[in-house]
């Protein structure tokens, strides 16, 4: 992994003005199945939730009605478009919150953009009272495996097998409560807006993404 993976990611997301708006139908098809799965496993009602790396709101739009949501991202450009009411510009390596400030900490597709994901995950555990939920690429998917090498800001994903994430959870002293593979038909800014994307997302081990729910030990 190149040591400038974070710079490549920051530069891309700070300067890229071609991402779809969170209300785009392809974004809905990308994000909603993930939140629907989480809702079947976790009670968000009335909970204080921190979304780390919430960007321009692809997931935030569906979490926001469920809970008291705070979104943190290092990019002011990304946060400007996020629909959450409470938005904080900051680093995942040094979350500007007291220990146990949130019931749930959620993070989607951020860790593979970091040189030191274990440090960020430890911070998420620190500020959570209970659960830490992570969604990341599944590099076992052949298209994901080859595709991440095409984009400098995505190349950190080459490590992200299920076992790699389980090891990160173990290092952060998080007990795994649940895991699923999910996705494969829709990529948020690449899939064209055509009717076939409304089919259910795949849950096979070759799905594009995986979600893990961890609890503080």
Q: How many domains does the chain have?
A: 1
Q: In which domain, by residue range, is 102 found?
A: 5-216
- pLDDT tens digits for 40-89? 999 999 999 999 999 889 999 999 999 999 999 998 888 988 999 999 99
Q: Residue 13: which CATH number?
A: 3.40.50.150
98-146 per-position pLDDT tens digit: 999 999 999 999 999 999 999 999 999 999 999 999 999 999 988 888 8
Q: Can you list the pairs that 20-23 forms with residues at least 24 positions away whose Cβ atoms lie under 8 Å?
A: 20/188, 20/189, 21/56, 21/81, 22/56, 22/57, 22/58, 22/60, 22/61, 22/81, 22/82, 22/83, 23/61
């Amino acid at each position: 992994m190149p040591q400038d993976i974070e710079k490549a990611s920051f530069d891309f997301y700070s300067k890229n003005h071609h991402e779809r708006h969170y209300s785009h139908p392809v974004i809905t098809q990308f994000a909603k199945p993930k939140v629907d799965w989480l809702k079947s496993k976790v009670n968000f009602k009335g909970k204080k939730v921190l979304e780390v790396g919430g960007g321009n709101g692809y997931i935030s739009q569906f979490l926001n009605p469920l809970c008291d949501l705070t979104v943190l991202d290092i990019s002011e450009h990304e946060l400007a478009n996020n629909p959450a009411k409470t938005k904080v510009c900051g680093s995942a390596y040094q979350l500007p919150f007291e220990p146990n400030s949130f019931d749930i900490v959620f993070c989607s597709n951020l860790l593979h953009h970091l040189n030191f994901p274990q440090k960020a995950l430890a911070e998420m555990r620190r500020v959570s009272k209970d659960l830490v939920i992570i969604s990341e690429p599944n590099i076992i998917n052949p298209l994901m495996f080859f595709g991440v090498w095409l984009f400098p800001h995505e190349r950190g994903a080459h490590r992200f097998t299920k076992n790699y994430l389980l090891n990160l959870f173990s290092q952060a002293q998080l007990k795994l409560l649940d895991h699923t593979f999910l996705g494969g038909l829709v990529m948020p800014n690449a899939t064209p807006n055509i009717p076939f994307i409304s089919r259910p997302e795949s849950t096979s081990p070759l799905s594009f993404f995986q979600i893990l729910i961890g609890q503080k030990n």
